[in-house]
A and B are shown apart, each in its own frame.
Chain A
Amino acid sequence: MTVRADERLERSAAAARGGSGAVVELLARRAEPVAIGLIAIGIGLALFSLFLLAVGKSPATFFSLMYVGGFGSWFSLQNSLSRAAPLLLTALCVALPARLGLVVIGGEGALALGGVAAAAAAAPLVNIAAPLPTLFLMAAAAVTVGGLWIGAIGYLRHYRGGNETIASLLAAYIAIALMNQLVEGVLRDPASLNKPSTAPLPPAYWIGKIPGTDVHWGLAIGLIACAVSYVLVEMTTWGFAARIAGGNARAAEVQGLPVGKLIVGFTTLAGGFAGLAGMIEVAAVQGNANASLAAGYGYTGILVSFLARHNPLAIAPIAILLGGIEASGGLIQRRMGLPDATVLVLQGVLFVVILFCETLYGRFRIFNPELWKRDA
């Protein structure tokens, strides 16, 4: 984190010096993550091609199908965007705490409970309130419950010394069990015989599609959440304080930063986003809350956030890329006779290579202006 602060100082100093040199330096710095990301993806795809050749399949066919299925037509693109929508919010549930140095992997639980809370809030409201206020209250309920769930993990971490990674993962199991208990118990719609669910949301109360597309508004909400998170983390004093606390919590405390409040605040916001993802699943996709809420979005969000290096703006393209990989996964299964796990292998290879390529940062002269001066 201190490196980052140095970088900032240097950048502003360079900017103060003015001139084209400063612009080149800035561009060089900005190009580093993009270039390293592309290198990593290239290596990952090359390794995966070897895997395909080993099982006797053509990489060319695979990648052309991946393009066709994920991005090759308006239909395919919408398919990818629909799948990316929930990942935006669940990835933020990982990315925000990551700025404080916390690895929270329990977004799945906050999503499940957020969905249940939204459905529970909707049950009485659909009789008395108009669609829009109902949706706002559903969202508020989902954000509150999701926020409390992950916020409690932050509290345990800071005030009780618990490990947030383990705690959030175990809490996700509890949350899913709780969701099942509620959906099969007090919240169950008696008419849902063989698939216990909450009462269905009347069609007028659904979150609709973005006009001209087949993608629901959840995508736009997710993109806005990513943008807001970026501003929060990169352009506010809270975000700055969080990054300092993430670098060294004790040093931050010595400096008088409210580390505990930052941790609880950021984890609460993170959980709120995951809870909101649950509400959107209920109001835009499922129409009620049931066991299908725990579909793994919370876990895929971890992958997205790590691939995006916990940068909220980078989450959007990465989520869409992963959405595209998943969208094309079906076509690949159907046309190439490969099992569903094939795209999981690809995701796994990419994940490992990208983590491995983290070690490349700072090693390329071209991206590091401070090295230019040292050698000059």
Chain B
Amino acid sequence: MTHHLTFNRRRFLQSAAAGVLAGAAPGRALAAGGLTVGFIYVGPKDDYGYNQAHAEGAAVVKKIPGVTVVEEENVPETVDVEKTMESMINLDGATLLFPTSFGYFSHVLTEAPKFPNVQFRHCGGLWKAGKDPANVGSYFGYIFQGQYLNGVAAGYATKSKKIGFVAAKPIPQVLQNINAFLLGARSVDPAITCQVIFTGEWSLAVKEAEATNALVDQGADVITCHVDSPKVVIQTAAGRGAFVCGYHANQSALAPDKYLTGAEWAWGNVYTDFVKKALAGQPLGNFVRGGLKDGFVKMSPLGPAVLAEARKKFDATLTEMMKPNYVVFKGPLKDNKGAEVIAAGKAYPEDAIELESMGYLVEGVIGSTA
């Protein structure tokens, strides 16, 4: 596990060759003896969303002495990402790579065996011991906890008792967020319902705007989302006068008056931990997960629209969630077709395997997964 740090002769020759080839390249001496870390994003680094959250994490890593960060944005989930990884390894001398998009996982598994001295840590994948290469690992956060808190803020802000969710695809990670948002709101008022609209794509601005408008037209007065870039949803909803809860990154600058709070990734903590371990020659871990209390997820500061009573309940819930054993998904819980999905007395903590395959919308969510 420590060999990824050793600056062996082969690596030196490769880096030296790359340096010579790079010729006049200014301002980026390859960190001899240090650690070069590569970050790969599927979309733009300034998307106010998924990719920006990772880029903010990379920016934190950049400040660590002895670490050189190389980044590439808009890399498709095709042979392109395989070649980008190889290019970072061959031309930049990167020995720790963070391919941050879910769809990169199969490509990571293709590349890792070719570069046993390079460590790959992939965001969102399910690394399996014994099956997947040892120099690969996956990390992710229980961000549905943040959506639960979004729901608490939304529960106080809504007057129509209808809240709305613009979602990309009906996959477990998204369904967890929708359900947690509604459950958070119902912890304030059990009469609240949440309308969900799936756009079918991770990034499709026109449909996201249409879905947001449709939700507001149907009476929803607090909107959140799970798409790659929440920018369009936040701006459209706030423009229509609805309150908004953020996702992925802090979008308060887009709607300062209407922004209640947001469920944000805290990748800076996660990446710092990985990089410090790599610098110290410690194992990075192959399956890394965490939530609010582990510092993987954080909340945007509460906006001016959040009133005193809501603040109190929000802070109290957050305090509870920072303690061990807080459970969002617990029985008795029915899906929105009336079938029992979690029996009374049963509780699924955030790392429960059952949550990884969630395929339902809970009672109170209006919408369908198929």
Q: Is B188 an interface residue (CB 8 A)?
A: no
**A82 pairs with B79, CB closer than 8 A:** yes
Q: Is A195 an interface residue (CB 8 A)?
A: yes
> Which residue in A68, A83, A295, A330 is a CB contact (below 8 Å) of B77?
A295
**A340 pairs with B74, CB closer than 8 A:** yes
**Measured CA separation A113–B106 after assembly (Å):** 21
Q: Is B75 an interface residue (CB 8 A)?
A: yes
Binary contact readout B278-289 vs A (1 if CB under 8 angstroms, 0 otherwise)? 000000000000
**A69 pairs with B25, CB closer than 8 A:** no
Q: How far is the CB of B178 from chain A (nearest CB, A)?
A: 14
- With A65-B25, A333-B73 as known contacts, state yes or no: A193 contacts B172, CB within 8 Å: yes
Q: Of B82-90, B264-272, B319-327, which stretch is located at the interface? A: B82-90
Residues facing A in B49-82 (CB within 8 A) are 70-80, 82
Q: Is B131 an interface residue (CB 8 A)?
A: no
Give the residues in chain B near A60, CB-CB below 8 Å: 24
Q: Is A339 an interface residue (CB 8 A)?
A: yes
Binary contact readout A67-85 vs B (1 if CB under 8 angstroms, 0 otherwise)? 0110011011001001101
Give the residues in chain B near A65, CB-CB below 8 Å: 22, 25
**Measured CA separation A142–B370 after assembly (Å):** 27
Give the residues in chain B near A76, CB-CB below 8 Å: 87, 91
Q: Is B32 an interface residue (CB 8 A)?
A: no
**Closest chain A residue to B77 by CB distance?**
A292
Q: Of A89-97, A220-228, A282-290, which stretch is located at the interface? A: A282-290
- With A75-B86, A334-B70, A335-B25 as known contacts, state yes or no: A195 contacts B102, CB within 8 Å: yes
**Measured CA separation A251–B23 after assembly (Å):** 59
> Which residue in A73, A281, A339 is a CB contact (below 8 Å) of B78?
A281
Give the residues in chain A near B74, CB-CB below 8 Å: 340-341
Q: Is A327 an interface residue (CB 8 A)?
A: yes
Give the residues in chain B near A75, CB-CB below 8 Å: 86-87, 90-91
Give the residues in chain A near B370, CB-CB below 8 Å: 185
Give the residues in chain B near A61, CB-CB below 8 Å: 24-26
**B23 pairs with A69, CB closer than 8 A:** no
Chain A: interface secondary structure?
helix
Give the residues in chain A near B79, CB-CB below 8 Å: 82-83, 85, 216, 285
**Closest chain B residue to A85 by CB distance?**
B79
**Measured CA separation A341–B73 after assembly (Å):** 10
**Closest chain B residue to A290 by CB distance?**
B103
Q: Is A189 an interface residue (CB 8 A)?
A: no
Q: Is A177 an interface residue (CB 8 A)?
A: yes
Total A residues in contact with B, Cβ cutoff 8 Å:
46
**A326 pairs with B21, CB closer than 8 A:** no
Q: Is B356 an interface residue (CB 8 A)?
A: yes
Q: Is B311 an interface residue (CB 8 A)?
A: no
Give the residues in chain B near A214, CB-CB below 8 Å: 86
**Measured CA separation A79–B111 after assembly (Å):** 14
Q: Is A151 an interface residue (CB 8 A)?
A: no
**A340 pairs with B173, CB closer than 8 A:** no
**Measured CA separation A138–B106 after assembly (Å):** 21
**Closest chain A residue to B40 by CB distance?**
A330
Q: Is B304 an interface residue (CB 8 A)?
A: no
**A292 pairs with B73, CB closer than 8 A:** no
- With A68-B23, A286-B78 as known contacts, state yes or no: A193 contacts B171, CB within 8 Å: yes
Q: How far is the CB of B361 from chain A (nearest CB, A)?
A: 16
**Closest chain B residue to A72 by CB distance?**
B21
Give the residues in chain B near A341, CB-CB below 8 Å: 74
- With A193-B172, A195-B171 as known contacts, state yes or no: A287 contacts B106, CB within 8 Å: yes
Q: Is B124 an interface residue (CB 8 A)?
A: yes
Q: How far is the CB of B261 from chain A (nearest CB, A)?
A: 25
**B171 pairs with A327, CB closer than 8 A:** no
Residues facing A in B313-370 (CB within 8 A) are 356-357, 370
Q: Is A127 an interface residue (CB 8 A)?
A: no
Q: How far is the CB of A318 from chain B (nearest CB, A)?
A: 18
Q: How far is the CB of B168 from chain A (nearest CB, A)?
A: 10
- With A285-B78, A296-B76 as known contacts, state yes or no: A330 contacts B84, CB within 8 Å: yes
**Closest chain A residue to B87 by CB distance?**
A330
**Closest chain B residue to A284 by CB distance?**
B79
Residues facing A in B209-245 (CB within 8 A) are none
Q: How far is the CB of A274 from chain B (nearest CB, A)?
A: 15
**B169 pairs with A292, CB closer than 8 A:** no
- With A292-B77, A326-B80 as known contacts, state yes or no: A79 contacts B86, CB within 8 Å: yes
> Which residue in B22, B82, B200 is a CB contact (below 8 Å) of A68?
B22
> Which one of B23, B71, B90 has the greatest number of beta carbons of chain A within 10 Å?
B23
> Which residue in A194, A334, A339 is a CB contact (below 8 Å) of B102?
A194
- With A68-B23, A287-B106, A333-B71 as known contacts, state yes or no: A180 contacts B200, CB within 8 Å: yes
Give the residues in chain A near B208, CB-CB below 8 Å: none
**Measured CA separation A73–B20 after assembly (Å):** 11
**Measured CA separation A194–B24 after assembly (Å):** 43
Q: Is B28 an interface residue (CB 8 A)?
A: yes
**Measured CA separation A121–B113 after assembly (Å):** 29
**Measured CA separation A185–B357 after assembly (Å):** 16
- With A195-B102, A295-B76, A295-B80 as known contacts, state yes or no: A327 contacts B87, CB within 8 Å: yes
25 A-B contacts (beta carbon < 8 Å): A58-B26, A61-B25, A68-B22, A68-B23, A75-B86, A75-B91, A76-B91, A79-B83, A79-B86, A82-B83, A83-B79, A83-B83, A177-B200, A185-B370, A194-B102, A195-B171, A285-B82, A292-B78, A334-B28, A334-B71, A334-B72, A335-B25, A335-B28, A336-B25, A340-B44
Known: A82-B79, A83-B83, A292-B76. 8 other contacts (CB 8 A): A180-B200, A285-B82, A290-B103, A326-B80, A327-B83, A330-B84, A333-B73, A334-B28
Closest 4 CB pairs of A and B: A292-B77, A340-B74, A295-B76, A334-B70
Residue ranges of A at the interface with B (Cβ–Cβ < 8 Å): 58, 60-61, 64-65, 68-69, 72-73, 75-76, 79, 82-83, 85, 177, 180, 184-185, 193-196, 214, 216, 281, 285-288, 290-292, 295-296, 326-327, 330-331, 333-336, 339-341
